[in-house]
């Protein structure tokens, strides 16, 4: 079997069914927590906790970190941390059920594993910085914004997909 055919032979969930389930999850999240989904808050909790563990004086004197520190409760005791852990566990279970748990790097035959990992690292870093600048990630800004019919949510989603569509032209050779 050619490498190109390996990508086509994978069976994944129907994306419309997955989108439907995501919509139900957002409604449930609003009902339970009073706010929508978001993943960047979990990473913030990890960074604040790590800073408080290794440099407590800096964490408590820093205006940003100190607002999340409480002597009675850890920043890790946050529902967003549990959400992120649930996503990781769910992805692991999904991969195990579908037989996709393998320690390998999927990439186009046109590029190397090293290049794929480098671009993933750069993209992830830019995404993380953008999420901090925007005060939230795409799921929090776009999906949760659209679910409450926010004009800003629609503009955010169009901006995310529009920018992704334009940027894909320059990076498509790394995958296709």
pLDDT computed for residue 103 by the predictor:
83
> In the chain, how many domains are there?
2
Do 91 and 44 fall within a single domain? yes
Q: Averaged over 23-46, what is the pLDDT?
A: 81
Do 18 and 82 fall within a single domain? yes
Domain end residue (candidates: 103, 123, 155): 103
Residue 59 banded pLDDT, cuts 50, 70, 90: very high
Do 22 and 34 fall within a single domain? yes
Residue 137 has pLDDT above 80, yes or no: no
- For residue 141, give the nearest of 22, 33, 36 by alpha carbon: 36
Residue 161 is part of which domain span?
A: 105-176
Based on its alpha-carbon atoms, the radius of gyration of the chain, rounded to whole angstroms, reads 19
Domain end residue (candidates: 76, 103, 130): 103
Do 112 and 72 fall within a single domain? no
Alpha helices in 98-150 (DSSP H): 113-133, 138, 144-147
Give me 58's structure tokens: 């800096």
Domain end residue (candidates: 103, 126, 157): 103
Residue 139 banded pLDDT, cuts 50, 70, 90: low
Do 95 and 164 fall within a single domain? no
The alpha carbon torsion through 144, 145, 146, 147 (nearest 10 deg) reads 50
Cα 150 to Cα 43, 137, 139, 144, 162, distances in angstroms: 25, 16, 14, 9, 18
- For residue 41, give the nearest of 31, 56, 53, 29 by alpha carbon: 29
Do 132 and 153 fall within a single domain? yes
Is 6 inside any structural domain?
A: no
Is 1 inside any structural domain?
A: no
Do 16 and 98 fall within a single domain? yes
Is 7 inside any structural domain?
A: no
Judge contact between 128 and 43, C-beta under 8 A: yes
Give me 88's structure tokens: 């990781």
Distance between CA atoms of residues 144 and 172, nearest Å: 29
Do 96 and 160 fall within a single domain? no
Do 90 and 132 fall within a single domain? no
Is 46 inside any structural domain?
A: yes
pTM strictly above 0.85? no
Residue 63 banded pLDDT, cuts 50, 70, 90: very high
Cα 37 to Cα 48, 99, 124, 128, distances in angstroms: 20, 28, 19, 16
């Amino acid at each position: 079997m050619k490498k190109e055919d390996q990508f086509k032979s994978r069976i994944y969930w129907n994306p419309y069914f997955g989108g439907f389930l995501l919509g139900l999850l957002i409604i449930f999240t609003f009902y339970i927590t009073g706010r929508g989904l978001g993943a960047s808050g979990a990473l913030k909790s990890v960074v604040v906790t790590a800073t408080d563990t290794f440099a407590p004086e800096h964490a408590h004197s820093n205006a940003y970190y100190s607002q999340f520190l409480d002597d009675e409760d850890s920043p890790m005791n946050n529902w967003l941390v549990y959400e992120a852990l649930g996503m990781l566990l769910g992805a692991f279970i999904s991969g195990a059920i579908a037989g996709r748990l393998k320690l390998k790097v999927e990439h186009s035959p046109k590029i190397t594993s090293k290049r794929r990992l480098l671009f993933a690292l750069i993209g992830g870093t830019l995404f993380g910085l953008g999420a901090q600048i925007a005060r939230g990630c795409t799921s929090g800004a776009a999906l949760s914004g659209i679910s409450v019919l926010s004009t800003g949510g629609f503009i955010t989603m169009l901006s995310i997909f529009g920018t992704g569509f334009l940027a894909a032209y320059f990076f498509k050779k790394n995958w296709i």
